[in-house]
A and B are shown apart, each in its own frame.
Chain A
Amino acid sequence: MTATAPLPDLTETPEQPAARRGLLDALNRTPATRTLTAGVILLLLLSITRVITGADDLTSSGTMGTTLRLAIPILLAGLAGLWAERVGVLNIGIEGMMILGTWFGAYGAWQYGPWVGLLLGLLGGAAGGLIHAVATVRFNVDHVISGVAMNLFAFGAMRYLSELAFTGEQGGGISQSPVQQAAIPRFNVPFLAGGQIGNWKSPDMLGWLENKHWFFIGDVAGIARGLVFNISWATVIGLALVPLSTWILWRSRFGLRLRSSGEAPDAAESLGVNVTRVRYGGLLISGAFAGLGGAYLSIVASSYYRQGQTGGRGFIGLATMIFGNWMPTGALGGALLFGYADALKLRRADSITALFLFITFVAGLLMILSMYRRKTVPAIAAFVAAVLFLIAYETVDEVPESLTQATPYVVTLIVLATASQRLRPPAHAGKPWRPGEGH
C-alpha cells in the first residue's frame, strides 16, 4: 500500500480524514514500528501518571534495576518452558529444575566461587531436564505426571542434601546454605550511568537527566538508567539468552528441526529428523535454563540458598511463556511486566495504587481504539475496566500484598480466557508420541 497507487478500499469509511488514517497505517505497518509506537504511548501515559500522582518510583532507575533483577529468573523459567514446548514436551517441572538450580548454584558458589556456582546450577537444572526427557521421551510417560514428579523429587532431594551438606556449617541448616563470600561482579555503563574507564569515572548522564524529573525525558532517562546502572554480568547473560534463543530456534538448522518436532513430529521424522535426539537436546537446554534461573536466585538475587526460594517462579515462568505467545521476546515482555509489578511492590507499596491510574489510562486508550475500529464489545469491556480501575484508584489506599502476589496468575488466566484465539502454542506440545508409529 504505497501512497502513489492507493487501492480502492471498500471497507473504508468516507468520513475518516485521510491524514489520520495514513498516520495510523504508517505506525501500524510492521511489528517493529507497532511495538515502538505502543511503547512510546505507554511511556507517555506512565509519565502522565507519575506527574499526576507524584509517585516518582514508577519510572525511577531504582525500580527498573529491581525489575530487571526480579525479571531474570522469571525470564529464564519462561525460556525453559518455551524450549521444552517448542520441542513438543510440556514442562510442568520447571519449578523443580529451578530448585535444583538454586541448590547446586548456592553449593557451587559457596565452595568454589560464584561463576562455578552458576555453572553447577545450570548443570543441576540440566540433570532435571534429562530425567524429564528420559521419562517423557524414552518411556512416553504423561508429561504432566513427569513434571509433577520432578517438582516433588527436587523439593525432597534438595532438603535431603541440605541436611547432609549444610547442617553444622556456619549459617547453614536444613533449610538454608551458608552465605557466599564472593559475588558476580557488577558494572555501570560508562557515560550513560557513570561507569569507570580505567581509573577515570565517566559522567552519569542519565542519572543527571533523571534527577531533573522533566516530563517524559526524565522518565525515559530513569528507565534507561535502570538498564545500565549496577548491572550484574549474570543479568547480561540472562538477557543475551533471549536473542540467542530466537536466533537458534528460528534461524538455525537445529532450531528448525527442534520446532518441527514440536509442531509435527511425524512429519519431521519422515523427513529424517531424529525426533528423539532433538527432544533430548531441547529438554536438556530447557532444564539448563531453569537451573540457571534458580542459580541466579541463590547467587545474584541473594547470596545463599533457602528452602522455597523459587516461590512458584517456575510456574510464573510458565505463565510468562503463555503470555508471550511461546516467543522469546514475548517471554521477555511478560517477565519484565511481572517483575515490574513485583519491584514496585518491594520499593514503595503505595506506588501500586498509582498503577491503577495508569491502567485506567491504558483501558481508556484501548476503548478509544476499539471504538475507532467499530468493535463494540471490546470497547465496552475496556470502558468498564477503566471505570473500575478509576474507582479503585480513588478509593483504595493500600493494596494487600497477598493480593498483588496473585497478579501474574490472574493476568495469565485472563489472557488465556480472552485472547486464546491469538495464542499459538506448538501444535504437538504435550501429546504422547513414540518414534515410528506415525506411518
Chain B
Amino acid sequence: MTDQPPTQPPAQTPALPIENASKSLLASVTTPTSNPGIQRSLVTLGSSILAVVIALLISGILLQVTGKDALTAYQKMLDTGLQSDKLLEMLQRATPLMLSAVAVAIGFKMNLFNIGVEGQYLFAALIAAVVGAQFSVWAPLHVLIILVVAMIAGSCWAGIAALLKVKRGVNEVIATIMLNYIALSVIQWLFDSFFRDDSVSGLNVKTKLIPESGWMPDLFGGRLNAMFFVAIAVVAAYWVLVFKSRFGFRLRASGLNGVAARTAGISSGRMVIVALLISGAVAGLIAMPSVLGEIHAYGQGVPKQLGFAGIAVALLGRNHPLGIVLAAALFGFLDSTSGALQLEGIPNSIIEVIQAIIVLTVVIVNEAVTRSMNRRTATRTARQLEAVVPAAGVAAVPA
C-alpha cells in the first residue's frame, strides 16, 4: 500500500505495430536520462517534504483560526529545537519512534497492517521489567537478557494475531485492534494481582526495581540513553534483513503480489507468521528506553501511544530505513519543542495535531505524486512513440 511499484513500463502504449518494433526500441524510449533510482528517491524525498510543509500550513491555519500566531509558534519551535541539548533530546525522543516505525514497516512490507504494536510493546515492557528484576548478573549480559525477553514477549503477543490470521483467516487489522485492548486488560490484571511492588506507595506504582546491572547507561551527561544506538542497529538490521537478504526478497514479493509469490513457491502463511513475529520482536524493544534507562521498572511512566506514532513515522519514512530515521528525528524534534510552546502560551497538543495531519498529507501527497508521475511517464512515452512509430510502422506494415 505504501510501497509503490517501480515506474511503470509503458503498458498503455498503442499496441498496433509495436509488436514488430524491437524491445530495445521500447527500452530506449522509456529509460529516463538520469539514474532512475536516484530520481525516484529525489521525488520521494521531495513529496515527503511537500507533505510536511502542507501539514505545517494547515496547522498554521488552525493556529491562526484559534487566535494564536502561527509564525511565532514555528519560530519558537525552531529557536529552541535547534539548541544542542534539545538536539540530544530530539534523538532521545526519536529512539522509541524508530523502533516502533521499524516494527510497523516490517508488516507493511508484507502488506500486513500491524496496528497491534501498541499492545505488543506494553505487554513486552511489563514482562521484561518483571523478569529483569528477578536476578542480577554481569551488566551487559543482564541488559541483553532483558532485551531478548522483551523481544520474545512482544513476538508472543504478535503471534496470537499471526495464528488467528493464518489458521482462521481473521483479518490482522481487526485482530490486532482487539488484541491491543485485551493486552491493556491483561497487563492491568497481571500488574495488580502479581507484579505490583507494594513497598512503593502513592500514585507512582510500579513493579520491582531492576538491579543496577540491568540498567541501560545514559550518555552525554544523562541526555541520551544508549538505547539510541540499539535502535540505530535495529534500523540497520531491518535494512539488511528486508532489503538485502533472500528472506527480505520473499517478504517483499509476498507483500507486492501474494499470488505470484505463491506461484514461485513462497509459502504466504509462513511469511505472515514470520513477519508478524519479527514485527512483534522489534515492538518489544519500544518501551526499553524508558524501562531500562529511566524508570528501571514497569509503571505509570511507560509512555503510551507509541505504537500509533510508529505508524505515522513509518508512513512518513515510506518504510525505508533512512526515511524512518529522518521521520523519527522530525517527530522527535516536534516533541522536544512542546515545553517551549507551552511556555509561549500555545497548547502543546498542537504538536499531536501537526503529527496527525502529517500522516494524512503524506499519504495523500504520495498518492497524488505517484499518479501524476505515472501519467507523465505514459504521455511522454506516447509522444516519443508517436515520433518513432510512423517509421517503424512503414517498415512493418506493407502499404
Contact = CB atoms under 8 A, between A and B. Distances in A.
B178 A160 contact: no
Nearest to B187: A402
Interface stretch (B83-91, B126-134, B167-175, B203-211): B167-175
B367 A141 contact: yes
B367 A156 contact: no
A153 B367 contact: no
Given A135-B364, A416-B174, A156 B308 contact: no
Contacts of B178: 315, 319, 409-410, 412-413
Contacts of B355: 152, 156
Contacts of A149: 312, 356-357, 359-360, 363
Contacts of B360: 131, 135, 141, 146, 149, 153
A166 B350 CA distance: 16
Given A145-B311, A406-B182, A409-B181, A152 B356 contact: yes
Interface stretch (B188-196, B222-230, B278-286): B188-196
Interface in A133-176: 135, 139-142, 144-146, 148-153, 155-157, 159-161, 163-164, 174
A146 B363 contact: yes
Interface residues of A, number: 44
Interface string B322-351: 000000000000000000000000010111
Contacts of B312: 148-149, 152
Contacts of A271: none
A405 interface: yes
B9 to A, nearest CB: 19
Q: Classify chain B: how many residues form its interface, as a range.
A: 35 or more
A150 B311 CA distance: 13
B169 A420 contact: yes
Given A139-B367, A163-B347, A402 B188 contact: yes
A156 B351 contact: yes
A318 B62 CA distance: 30
A92 B116 CA distance: 13
A322 interface: yes
A159 B179 CA distance: 26
Contacts of B164: 413, 416-417
Contacts of A161: 66
B192 A148 contact: no
Given A156-B355, A160-B349, A400-B193, A140 B181 contact: no
B353 A140 contact: no
A22 interface: no
A139 B350 CA distance: 25
A159 B349 contact: yes
A190 B69 CA distance: 57
A416 B170 contact: yes
B352 A152 contact: yes
A312 interface: yes
B115 interface: yes
B1 interface: yes
A403 B189 contact: yes
B182 A159 contact: no
B311 A409 contact: no
A163 B182 contact: no
B363 A145 contact: yes
Contacts of A160: 66, 347, 349-350, 352-353
Most buried by B among A160, A322, A403, A418: A160
Contacts of B353: 153, 156-157, 160
Nearest to B352: A156
B113 interface: yes
Contacts of A400: 189, 192-193
A140 B367 contact: yes
Interface in A382-407: 400, 402-403, 405-406
B191 to A, nearest CB: 8
Contacts of B168: 416-418, 420
B21 interface: no
B315 interface: yes
Contacts of A131: 360
A337 to B, nearest CB: 16
A403 B193 CA distance: 11
Nearest to A140: B367
Interface in B53-78: 62, 66-67
A139 B353 CA distance: 20
B174 A406 contact: no
Contacts of A318: 174, 177
Most buried by A among B170, B182, B360: B360
A316 B177 CA distance: 10
Contacts of A140: 367
Contacts of B66: 160-161, 164
B82 interface: no
Contact of A420 (B170, B193, B350): B170
Interface string B297-324: 0000000000011011001000000000
A84 to B, nearest CB: 14
B368 interface: yes
Contacts of A152: 308-309, 312, 352, 355-356, 359
Contact of A159 (B185, B352, B367, B368): B352
A169 B164 CA distance: 49
Contact of A417 (B170, B188, B347): B170
Nearest to B68: A164
A92 B356 contact: no
Interface of A: 90, 92, 131, 135, 139-142, 144-146, 148-153, 155-157, 159-161, 163-164, 174, 312, 315, 318-319, 322, 400, 402-403, 405-406, 409-410, 412-413, 416-418, 420
10 contacts: A131-B360, A139-B364, A148-B359, A150-B356, A318-B177, A406-B181, A413-B175, A413-B182, A416-B164, A420-B170
The 7 closest A-B pairs by CB, nearest first: A156-B352, A153-B356, A406-B185, A402-B188, A152-B356, A159-B349, A163-B347
Interface of B: 1-2, 62, 66-67, 113, 115, 164, 168-171, 173-175, 177-179, 181-182, 184-186, 188-189, 192-193, 308-309, 311-312, 315, 347, 349-353, 355-357, 359-360, 363-364, 367-368
Given A406-B186, A417-B170, 5 more contacts: A148-B115, A149-B312, A149-B359, A159-B347, A412-B178
